[in-house]
Amino acid sequence: MTIKELLERHPTAINVFIERKMLCVGCPVQEYHTLEEVARIYGVTLSVLMESVRHAIKAAKRRPSSVKFNALPEKSGKKDPEANKTPRDGRENNRPGHSKRRIQC
């Protein structure tokens, strides 16, 4: 299995590479390198690297998903009280370039 395949199947394994300061994440040749090659390149024992990856994958499977699929407030009949409030800075639209002033030509 290549590093690219590993990271696509188990995205939490990215943390192993980042914590070890390995440049595999985003590397253009990650689709060709295997875990064994990466361990050799970075001077890490393959068994230690594999154990770290396994631990990251198992930890991700144990953690419950933080994403909850609740009904949206509009669909459930409840209205969001924060929806029509003016932002704290007083402007109606808090995005840059949007203000109440109109430019006249």
Domain ranges of the chain: 3-62
Residue 15 has pLDDT above 70, yes or no: yes
Q: CB neighbours (10 Å) of residue 39?
A: 17
Smallest CA-to-CA distance from 4 within 22, 20, 28, 39 is with: 28
CA–CA distances in Å: residue 63 to residues 10, 12, 18, 55 = 14, 11, 20, 12
For the whole model, what pTM was predicted? 0.57
With both helix axes pointing from N to C terminus, report the angle between 35-42 and 46-62 in degrees, rounded to the nearest 10: 120
Could you report the per-residue pLDDT of 29-78, keeping only the tens digit for each? Answer: 999 999 999 999 999 999 999 999 999 999 888 876 554 444 445 555 55
Instruction: Report how far apart, in Å, the C-alpha atoms of 19 and of each of 12, 53, 83, 84 are.
Output: 12, 11, 40, 43
